[in-house]
Amino acid sequence: MKGIILAGGTATRLFPLTATTSKQLLPVYDRQMIFFPLNTLIKAGIKDILMIVAPDHSGQYLNLLGTIFEKHGIRIEFKVQKLPKGLADAFIVGENFIGTDNVAMILGDNIFENDFSKEIKGFKSGGHIFAVKVPDPERYGVVRFDDAGKVLQIEEKPKEWISDYAIPGLYIYDNRCCEAAKKVIPSERGEIEITELHDFYFKKEELTVSSFEGAYLDAGTFDSLLEAGKIVKERGISRKFDPIINEAIEEFNEELKVIARKRLA
């Protein structure tokens, strides 16, 4: 299983904060946002991770994450995406990285309280996505179930109400997703929509959708960024990180302190 973190885009809703840094490098309580999706993947045993970043802040990602996990057996590769073309474009950009493996992709600004290690480790083939009840489903791709929990419909940001169950930014696919993404016709927004990949597996009856109830935080606005920090603190989400991440952050902090002392000497 390979991992992809999508951390590109311009995050205009968070200007001027994102005029000087990437949204995913903004702090959420006691650490940068990017460590939360990293935790989801590393906790599930994924050791090869591709991070897709925007050109303006690629150096900042390299400075923070370039070597931080090397001694822990985690390899992070970076690819610069000059223009965001939709979520599913990540599987085109990352085709050579994925190769013949399965892949779990997570959005860099999505924070989950739940541990999805069981679903990721147990994945064999097809597609596996998730659903969570939200108050504003019109902002997301949504999934509609029948009374027995069977998936009836999947649609991206519907104009009319279909369901309260949003599809958050964690997707698990087999490597057929790369070829499927290439065949997606861009939407009216000019994007290669991830919903088309869900539909690809859904039509083949190879899509699993699991619902969950833990905190799901999409930190894309000032209010949601503030709320995310509060929830992370109150529920101790960052204290439940995989030991690899906590150790790597502590080592990185000590390294920075040594460098700072040398500069002041």
Express each pLDDT in 79-101 by its tens digit: 999 888 999 999 999 999 999 99
Question: What is 2-264's CATH number?
Answer: 3.90.550.10
The whole-number pLDDT of residue 227 equals 94
111: tokens are: 């924070």
Does the structure show a pLDDT above 80 at 265? no
The whole-number pLDDT of residue 149 equals 80
Does the structure show a pLDDT above 80 at 105? yes
CA distance 185 to 175: 19
pLDDT band at 159 (very low <50, low <70, confident <90, very high): confident
Per-residue CA distances from 259 to 24, 35, 139 (Å): 25, 22, 44
Average pLDDT over residues 28-50: 97
CA distance 265 to 261: 6
Residue 156 host element (H or E):
strand 151-156
Contact 2, 41 (CB under 8 A): no
Domain boundaries, the chain: 2-264
Question: Considering the chain, what is the average pLDDT of its residues?
Answer: 94
**pTM, to two decimals:** 0.94
Backbone angles phi, psi at 168, to 5 degrees: -75, 175
In terms of pLDDT, which residue wins out, 220 or 32?
32
The whole-number pLDDT of residue 60 equals 95
In 9-43, which positions are buried (b, 16+ CB within 10 angstroms) versus exposed (e)? bebeebeeebeeebbbbbebeebbbbbbbbbbbbb
The whole-number pLDDT of residue 244 equals 97
Per-residue CA distances from 173 to 59, 69, 101, 105 (Å): 29, 25, 9, 8
pLDDT band at 148 (very low <50, low <70, confident <90, very high): confident
